[in-house]
Structures are given as C-alpha cells and as structure tokens.
C-alpha cells in the first residue's frame, strides 16, 4: 500500500471517528427519527430503475448533493465519483471538459471516449462549459456503451438531467453568490403551470463573472469567467398517455484560457529549429516566466480568448399504450467555439494556435419499449448527422506558419434491441438474464485545404485540397446475469462490447497517406459487481463494488510529429488490457449525520504498441518500446470522502448544515514517448461549507463556502515536448476560493 493510500485510510478513519464521537448514535430511535437514505432512480438502461436494483456500475449525484458539495462545474464531478477524471482539452478551450472513465481517454482530435447527454440526447462535452445549473441529477455510467445509448463509446456515459417544468405548482428561486477574485453569480428561475395538470413552463437563467486566477501583466488575465446561460423547459401532458418535453438551452461565454506556464526549456532544440537568435529570445522569455511564478504571465501577442456560443434543443415525445411505450427523441445542438492558445504563453511563439469552429449536430431516435411479468424489452433505431467546420492558424517558432480550413461530416445509423428476462418462472427465483445487440453504420467525409505561409513574399501558398471518405460498420453487444439474493443484496456479472468511431486527420498540410485516417477502437470487457444495503443498529449503509477487466484493440493514440509542420495525429497504436476495482458507499449514520465516499484502483497496460512512422516525418517517441508498459494517462489510485451534519433549529423549520469533502488523486506516470499524457504529481483537495437553511422559518437560506483549503498548487494539464519542440508547459488547477451564497425559494 503506497503512502497516498495510507494517507487516505488514515484521514477517512480520523474524520469518521471524530464525527461519530461528536454525535451520539441513539439505539433504536423512533421511526420518525430513524436515519434513511431513500431510493435513487437511475436511467442507466433507458428506463427508470432503483439504483440498488440495476446491474450497472453507475453513480448518481442528485440536486441536493450537487448543492451541498458545491458541484458547479463539470470538473467538480470527479471529486465525488469513482474512476472519473475530468481534464482540459488544450485545443478546445480551458472550459472544455474532457471526461475519462476507467483510464480511457480520447486522443486529441478524436471523438469522445465518454459521451455526454442532456437527458436522452448526446451532445458535445463543451455544451457544459458554463457549469452545472438547475439540474435534477447527474449520472455517471461506467463501462462500454452502445447497445442502448445513442452514441457508441468505449468508456461510458455522463447524463445531465435538467429540472423539468412542473404542470401542477408554481415555484421558483433566486440565488446570489459573491466571493474572492471578484466572483459574482446570480441565478433565477420560475415554474408556472400554464394549464394546471396539462402544461407547465420553467424558465431559468444564470450570470457569472470572475476575475482570472492567472494575472497577465500586459493583457487580459487568464482563467476568468464571463458567462450567461438561459434555459426553457416546457412539459405538456394533454392526455394521461401522451407526454411531450421540450428543452432549450443557450450559453454565451467570453473569457480567456487558463494559460500554459513555461516550466522547462531546451535551448539547443529551439536553436536547431529556429536559430540562435530565436533561442536567445525564448530564453529571455523563459527566464522572465521563472521570476513571475506559476500564477502570473506577461503575454500580449494574441488575445488568449476562450469564447463559446452554444445552443441545445431537445424534444421527447412518448405515448403509453399500457404495457408498451413509444418514444421519439429529437436533438439538435450548435457550438461555436473561438479560441487562441499559446503553448508557452510567451510573446515569442513556439507553438501557438488560433482556432474557430462551427459544430452542428442533429439526432433522431425512435424507441419501442414494453414489459410483461417476466420480460422487459426495448427496440429502436438511431440516426445522427454531425458537421464540424474548422478554421485554424498556426504560429511556429517565431512566425506565422500555416492556416487550414477543414470540414468533417459524420453520419451514423443504428438499430438496437435489448431485453431482460426474469427466470423466476423457471424456478430460479431472483435471477435475471439480459442480452442486447446493436448494429451501427458510420460514414465519415472530410475536406482539408491547407495553406503555407511564405514569409519572403508574405503570402499564403495553398496545397492541393484533400478529400476523403471512410465507412465503418460494427456490432455492439451486452450479455449479463443478475441475482437478487434478497431485498438488500444484488449480485451481477456482465460482458459488453462496443467501439468508438474512426476518423480523419484534418490537421495540417502535407499529411502522408499513413496518417490520413484511423480505424475505430474497440473494447470488450467483463464486469462483476455487488450492490448491498446494510443495517447496523439504526444506521443505514449503501455500498456498491465493481471489478472489471477489458480487452482493448486499435487504441486511439495522440501522436506528435513533424511532417513539414508540427501537428498532432490520431493513430491506432496499440492493444491493451484495462482493469480495476471501484468501491463507493453512502451511509446515514444518524438522522442528522451522513457520510459517503469512494475508492478506485485503475490499472492498464499495453499488450502491443507501435507508433506510425512515415518516411520523412520526425515522430516524437520514435523507437520507444511500450510493449507491456502501463497506460501513461492513468492515476492508479483515487479516493474521496464527504460528510454532512444537520442541526435542526426550532423543530424542522430551520437548520444548520455543516458539510465538507476530501479528494485524493495519485501520481500519473506519463507516457515514455513524451509529448502527450505527460507525468503529473498526485494531490489532495479539501472543501467545506456551512448552510443556514430556512432562516427563521422563512424561504431564505444563506451559506458560506471555501474550496481548495490551504491553496494547494496542483497541475491539471502538462505538455512535455522538450525532445521535439524544446519546452515543457503546464496549467494549474483553481486556487483557494471562498464566498457567500444567498438563496430564496418559493
């Protein structure tokens, strides 16, 4: 057991012991005072089921947990969920979350390994750049997906469920938060039953402002927030059988990147590429950065902007025929990110990128689901059409190098069916068998126009435009058994197979044939798990554990190469074996004391690894033998602990709630090839808050909070390309922040 795991066990024991000592546990409390956890409903299999009865590794954060733990952004989710890592996309903007589950991370430029959803509709993860607001719940589903969910994925799915309009009651809220770094956030919402019982409308919005965490001497500060968000939910139930749910979301962000900080420099590499004068200029910038430290830069060459306009529309119509339900799910989103990024945040550019995108997605899904005494089934079809237009300018080693225009069109069609059969009728009480099958047809079409810059004549010289079309067809499947031993214990075993689509490298001029396209990656796994509810005296403890082992083929890998210009390419580099163990618990120790936490051990190694090395290209990591090596992007150990204590005042009319959480992430080893998935040291974070709810029996509440207690300086992204480009840079997580919340609910 390493030092960090020992630290986890020690802190967990001390924290829980202190709380138990401070709060007496009464034996045989009256029923109205007995601790309770309540049921948690999940939609991990596209229908509403009890969390403890569904044979799927899934974590659920409801609206109460989101508020108590101050989970306001996508990155906060990882502090409460096993096996989840949320990092930044360096070319997607510092607010673009990249979701990683069970050690599976998308190569930069490829599709998401973990697909995010608004309700039943798959969306790009940038759709939640503005944070988590007015949500009913967040579900994190681990393991390969594709049999039931709209998009195939090898890692899992994260489902964001917004609050829906209520057709029966008027309600609303007003929230205001102020904090350090001039933080100001205001949100409000109102729900109106336009036609009671038939038509409800919910309108909500949020405005956020915050100064940057990184001071810029000669330009806008980095990692600031300047965001607006508005949402509309309309629910219509004209008859008891017919329901229509409309959701519209618009987000606008005008902020700046969390800048990469120059931490190491190789003078010889830069001198070889750009000459001694460039190397001298960069050396001076490097020396200045070392004097400035990790949270200050001097950068004015480009705007360092991280702008986004995002529109999401979903519409779900369902009709209940009794034992059969017909559901149609429509989705559309448009994202327009505009950003610039300097790999070193220096005015003499080594590798800088300015990129604008226009992304459109249209999805349509039709489901037919039914249930009898022994069989629960669902069949359906799915269609999606995505289009991404990208304009990019690249500045390399002192000047403008090239610009590219690309269009990526992706059409996916699928048919699927899945059923769960209760074997109790055959004398096998409590035993159920599940099987699902899906066939998907994908088509990807790409266009690239690249132009190189001629510094002598100061003009762009275009290459021959490139067109490419690839078609893929693949199967996904699920087969499993689950055994309900008794009302408090479920055992299950499942095997799944899914894939992530292949694609095209539309990134640079002069791309050799070997790097033009890449094939789908595929993952087959086996998972065994147990879900138990334990009663110890009056305490109720809910525990979930899962162990898994996978077989990974054609793994997408991010390869950095110079084939006339420096670029990142997606390749099929490897076969691998991910495996791990996950444990989480939630305990109501008394009526007022609740404790929860998780631990995961994530492992994985390459069974075979080989970079693509076209003639005439310089490939970073060429010649490195990774056969049998550990996946470089994995932090083997992660853990979290949270607790809340509620002190009633004047009966149940008002209350004080003290809550806090602790999170540990172990060291990330990094890739021996360098350049991508660079090594990062582990870290621990502590957060706390105190809430005074229903003050004086009124609808007003107030709270104070502090995050990253002790102002821990930790790295959330690192890019070590000293061997190819002469630099090592990294960005840092949020500093210590604190503030006051004021809330009004009606």
Residues 73-84: tens digit of each pLDDT: 888 999 999 999
C-beta neighbour count of 593 within 10 angstroms: 20
The residue with greater pLDDT, 33 or 63, is 63
What's the helix, strand, coil split of the chain in %, to 5?
10, 60, 30
Give the residue numbers spanning the domain of 738. 3-745
User: Which residues is 742 bridged to in the sheet?
Assistant: 176, 702
Residue reference for tokens 């691998």: 576
At 663-679, the pLDDT tens digits run: 999 999 888 787 677 89
Residue reference for tokens 């004015």: 300
Residue reference for tokens 């190098």: 401
> Cβ contacts of residue 3 below 8 Å, gap of 6+?
none
Confidence of residue 357 (pLDDT cuts 50, 70, 90): very high
Residue 587 has what pLDDT?
Answer: 96
* Secondary structure letter of residue 35 according to DSSP: -
Domain count, the chain: 1
Percent of the chain having pLDDT more than 90? 68
The residue with greater pLDDT, 18 or 246, is 246
The angle subtended at Cα 253 by Cα 249 and Cα 257, nearest 5°, is 140
Distance separating alpha carbons of residues 213 and 513, to the nearest angstrom = 43
Burial 490-525 (b: 16+ CB within 10 A, else e): bbbebebbbbbbbbbbbbbbebbeebbbbbbbbbbb
Residue 127 has what pLDDT?
Answer: 76
**Is residue 170 helix, strand or coil?**
coil
Enter the tokens of residue 374: 């022994």
Residue 4 has what pLDDT?
Answer: 44
Confidence of residue 93 (pLDDT cuts 50, 70, 90): low
Q: What is the DSSP string of 198-263?
A: TEEEEEEEEEEEE--SBEETTSPPBS-EEEEEEEEEEEE-SSSSEEEEEEEEEEEEEEE--PPEEE
491 membership: H or E segment, kind and range: strand 489-500
User: Which residues is 332 bridged to in the sheet?
Assistant: 313, 362
Pick from 207, 215, 191, 291: nearest CA to 250? 207
Decide: 498 and 478 in contact? Cβ < 8 Å. Answer: no
Decide: 299 and 288 in contact? Cβ < 8 Å. Answer: no
Distance separating alpha carbons of residues 86 and 109, to the nearest angstrom = 17
Confidence of residue 263 (pLDDT cuts 50, 70, 90): very high
What is the average per-residue pLDDT within 685-707? 95
Pick from 420, 398, 542, 563: nearest CA to 478? 420
Angle of helix 276-292 relative to helix 267-274, nearest 10 degrees, comes to: 140
Percent of the chain having pLDDT more than 70? 94
- Average pLDDT of the chain? 89
Judged by phi (left if over 0) then psi (alpha if -120 to 50, else beta), residue 319 lies in beta
What is the average per-residue pLDDT within 701-711? 97
Residue 625 has what pLDDT?
Answer: 84
Pick from 175, 171, 103, 170: nearest CA to 133? 175
Decide: 409 and 389 in contact? Cβ < 8 Å. Answer: no
- 302 φ/ψ angles, rounded to the nearest 5 degrees: -140, 170
* Least confident window among 188-202, 229-243, 324-338, 501-515: 501-515
Distance separating alpha carbons of residues 84 and 87, to the nearest angstrom = 10
pLDDT surpasses 90 at 44: no
- In a 13 Å sphere around the CA of 496, the CA atoms on its Cβ side amount to 27
* Global pTM exceeds 0.85: yes
Biggest CA pair distance of the chain: 87
Residue 90 has what pLDDT?
Answer: 64
The angle subtended at Cα 278 by Cα 272 and Cα 284, nearest 5°, is 120
What's the CATH code of the domain at 49? 2.40.170.20
The angle subtended at Cα 257 by Cα 254 and Cα 263, nearest 5°, is 165
Residue 173 has what pLDDT?
Answer: 97
pLDDT surpasses 70 at 632: yes
Residue 626 has what pLDDT?
Answer: 87
* Secondary structure letter of residue 90 according to DSSP: T
**Is residue 66 helix, strand or coil?**
helix
Residue 361 has what pLDDT?
Answer: 97
């Amino acid at each position: 057991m390493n030092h960090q795991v020992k630290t986890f066990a020690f802190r967990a024991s001390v924290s829980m012991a202190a709380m138990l000592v401070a709060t007496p546990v009464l034996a045989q409390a009256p029923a109205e005072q007995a601790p309770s956890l309540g049921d948690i409903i999940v939609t991990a299999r596209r229908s509403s089921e009890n969390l403890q009865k569904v044979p799927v590794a899934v974590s659920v954060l409801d609206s109460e947990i989101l508020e108590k733990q101050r989970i306001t952004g996508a990155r906060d989710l990882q502090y409460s969920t096993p096996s989840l890592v949320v990092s930044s996309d360096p070319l997607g903007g510092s607010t673009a979350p990249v979701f990683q589950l069970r050690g599976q991370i998308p190569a930069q430029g490829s599709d998401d390994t973990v697909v995010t959803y608004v309700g039943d509709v798959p969306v790009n993860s940038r759709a939640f750049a503005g944070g988590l607001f007015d949500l009913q719940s967040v579900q994190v589903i681990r393991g390969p997906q594709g049999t039931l969910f709209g998009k195939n994925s090898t890692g899992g799915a994260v489902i964001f469920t917004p609050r829906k309009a209520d057709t029966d009651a008027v309600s609303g809220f007003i929230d205001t938060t102020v904090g350090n770094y001039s933080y100001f956030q205001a949100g409000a919402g109102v729900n109106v039953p336009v036609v009671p019982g038939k038509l409800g409308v919910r309108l909500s919005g949020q405005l956020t402002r915050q100064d940057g965490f990184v001071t810029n001497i000669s330009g806008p500060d980095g990692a600031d927030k300047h965001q607006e968000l508005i949402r509309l939910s309309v629910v219509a139930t004209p008859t008891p059988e017919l329901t229509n749910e409309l959701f519209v979301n618009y987000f606008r962000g005008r902020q700046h990147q969390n800048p990469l900080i120059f931490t190491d420099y190789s003078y010889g590499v830069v001198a070889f590429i750009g000459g001694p004068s460039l190397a001298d200029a960069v050396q001076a910038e490097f020396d200045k950065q070392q004097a400035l430290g990790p949270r200050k830069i001097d950068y004015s060459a480009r705007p360092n902007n991280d702008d986004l306009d995002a529109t999401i529309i979903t519409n779900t119509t369902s009709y209940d025929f009794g034992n059969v339900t017909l559901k149609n799910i429509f989705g559309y989103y448009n994202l327009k990110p505009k950003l610039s990024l300097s790999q070193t945040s220096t005015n003499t550019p080594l590798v800088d990128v300015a990129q604008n995108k226009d992304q459109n997605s249209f999805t349509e899904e039709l489901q037919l689901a039914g249930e009898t005494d022994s069989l629960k089934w669902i069949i359906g079809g799915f269609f999606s059409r995505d289009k991404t237009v990208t304009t990019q300018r690249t500045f390399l080693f002192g000047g403008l190098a090239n610009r590219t225009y690309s269009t990526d069109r992706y059409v996916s069609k699928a048919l699927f069916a899945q059923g769960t059969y209760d074997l109790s009728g055959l004398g096998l009480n409590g035993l159920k068998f599940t099987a699902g099958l899906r066939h998907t047809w994908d088509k990807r079409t790409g266009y690239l126009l690249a132009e190189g810059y001629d510094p002598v004549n100061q003009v762009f010289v275009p290459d021959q435009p490139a067109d490419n079309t690839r078609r893929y067809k693949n199967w996904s499947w699920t087969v499993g058994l689950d055994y309900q031993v008794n009302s408090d214990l479920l055992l299950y075993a499942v095997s799944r197979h899914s894939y992530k689509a292949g694609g095209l490298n539309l990134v640079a001029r002069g791309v050799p044939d070997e790097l033009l396209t890449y094939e789908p990656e595929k993952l087959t796994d086996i998972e065994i798990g147990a879900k138990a509810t334990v009663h110890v005296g009056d305490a109720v403890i809910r525990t979930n554990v899962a162990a898994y082992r996978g077989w990974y083929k054609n793994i997408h890998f991010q390869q950095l190469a110079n084939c006339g210009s420096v670029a990142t390419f997606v390749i099929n580099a490897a076969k691998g074996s991910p495996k791990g163990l996950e444990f989480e618990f939630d305990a109501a120790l008394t009526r007022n004391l609740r404790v929860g936490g998780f631990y995961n051990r994530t492992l994985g190694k390459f069974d075979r690894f080989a970079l693509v090395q076209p003639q005439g290209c310089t490939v970073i990591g060429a010649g490195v033998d990774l056969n049998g090596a550990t996946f470089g992007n994995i932090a083997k150990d992660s853990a979290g602990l949270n607790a809340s204590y509620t002190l009633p005042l004047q009966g149940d009319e008002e209350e004080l709630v003290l809550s806090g959480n602790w999170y540990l992430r172990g060291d990330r080893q990094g890739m021996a090839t360098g350049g991508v998935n660079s090594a990062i040291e582990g870290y621990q974070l502590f957060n706390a808050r105190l809430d005074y709810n229903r003050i004086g029996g009124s609808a007003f509440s107030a709270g104070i909070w502090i995050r990253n207690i002790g102002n821990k300086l930790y790295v959330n992204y690192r890019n070590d390309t000293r061997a190819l480009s002469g630099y090592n840079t990294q960005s840092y997580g949020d500093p210590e922040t604190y503030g006051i919340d004021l809330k009004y609910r009606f």
